[in-house]
Amino acid sequence: MRLSTSNIRRRSVLLTALVPAFTLCFSSTTAQSADSTRRTNNVVLIMTDGFRWQELFRGADPALMDQADSPFADTAAIRAEFGGATTEARRRSLFPFFWGTIAEKGQLFGNRDKGSDVHVTNGFKFSYPGYNETLTGAPDPRIDSNRPGPNPNVTVFEWLSRRPGFEDRVAAFGAWSPFDDIFNRERSGLFVRAAWDIPFDPPRGERQQVIDDLYRSMTRIWGRFLNYDSFVQQAVLEYVRVNRPRVLFVGYGETDEWAHEGRYDLYLRAAHRFDGFVAELWNQMQSMPEYRGHTTFIIATDHGRGDGPAGWRNHGREVDGAEAIWFAVMGPDTPALGERTNATTLTQSQVAATVAALLGEDFRAAMPRAARPIDDVLGQAAAAKP
């Protein structure tokens, strides 16, 4: 059938009007379908302060195991426990959960011996700038000390807490007192417990009362600025059991503190306990129906350290190598690719958007300065990412 010129024009106008609507409908359906493949409903970001990539990927350094400036250091015991004959044996004895579980079910980045480069971009190579970069997705030259006051930047945790479905479901625990400022607790309204903040006030039940009492009564080696990792761990486990957060930050601090004190033996002990804490939290959450099969762990550090008998103790803008860090990710959407070799170069600033993308949220739409998510760990969630 032949069409008149006027009919052809009318049909052309109609098609022009319908195509955008059809495209929008198709795009919306595709996005919903992609989001339906995402299995992560909860994200836990865990960090241990100033822990080097060298020990994570190489295990305890045989040349440093006698570097413990204390008459109380039992270097013979450290060598017996962590001084295996091979790199694989040493790192597995130091980090059994990382190399027995995460390496099989998740991904690890940052082994520079195998071409995997992860680094900070803030240039300062110490804690507050590192946590700010991690949590906001971008370095900030104004954050140039460990005590700059409340963070002027919005963290991905604060942003998520205002998104539908995350209200009162976001929390942060940290061994270091500046976490109150890093998360800007006053502005953000987040549930933050930093250093010696009493975790449960008022306590609900006997266990919470015991934890609060320990916080109040323990002798504080590092004053009011740093708590013990084991205390933080118990508070976190109890909070998860009772409050069921969807987004959780946990920051441990002893690895950095023992390194500054030159106690390689206690640095290793703290790292080994950290591995156990991650395993304990993972196992607890996997035993709970709302978390089992729906939770992703992102594990990282805020900065690296130098190398050699003296350099390993320090970090900062003048310390070569302190920019080198590492990531580990494990969850239902992350392909089980294990230790990454010759991987794409990654930066600390990519963590924030990755946390959001795993939850189906676009942090960069609100914070354009934030770096893009880490595509390799999104897996099935990648189709729904920004």
User: Is residue 35's pLDDT more than 90?
Assistant: no
Residue 359 shares a structural domain with residue 322: yes
User: Is residue 325's pLDDT more than 50?
Assistant: yes
pLDDT tens, 194-216?
Answer: 999 999 999 999 999 999 999 99
Q: Are strands 170-174 and 247-252 parallel, antiparallel or unpaired?
A: parallel
Helices (H), ranges, 332-381: 351-358, 363-366, 375-378
pLDDT level of residue 75 (50, 70, 90 thresholds): confident
Range of the structural domain that residue 2 is part of: 1-37
Residue 254 shares a structural domain with residue 304: yes
Residue 351 shares a structural domain with residue 208: yes
Residue 26 shares a structural domain with residue 155: no
User: Is residue 11's pLDDT more than 60?
Assistant: no
Instruction: Output the average pLDDT for the chain.
Output: 91
pTM: 0.90
Distance from C-alpha of 269 to C-alpha of 255, rounded to nearest angstrom: 9
> What phi and psi values does residue 37 have, to the nearest 5 degrees?
-80, -15
Residue 319 shares a structural domain with residue 347: yes
Provide the CATH number for the domain around residue 206: 3.40.720.10
What's the pLDDT at 36?
Answer: 66
pLDDT tens, 146-203?
Answer: 999 999 999 999 999 999 999 999 999 999 999 999 999 999 999 999 999 999 999 9
Residue 28 shares a structural domain with residue 130: no
Residue 133 shares a structural domain with residue 11: no
User: Is residue 42's pLDDT more than 70?
Assistant: yes
Domain count, the chain: 2
- What is the maximal distance between C-alpha atoms in the chain? 100
Residue 1 shares a structural domain with residue 92: no
pLDDT tens, 344-362?
Answer: 999 999 999 999 999 999 9
Residue 56 shares a structural domain with residue 99: yes
Cβ pair 161, 107 in contact under 8 A: no
Residue 29 shares a structural domain with residue 70: no
Residue 247 shares a structural domain with residue 317: yes
* Mean pLDDT, residues 274-294 taken together: 98
User: Is residue 9's pLDDT more than 50?
Assistant: no
Residue 116 shares a structural domain with residue 245: yes
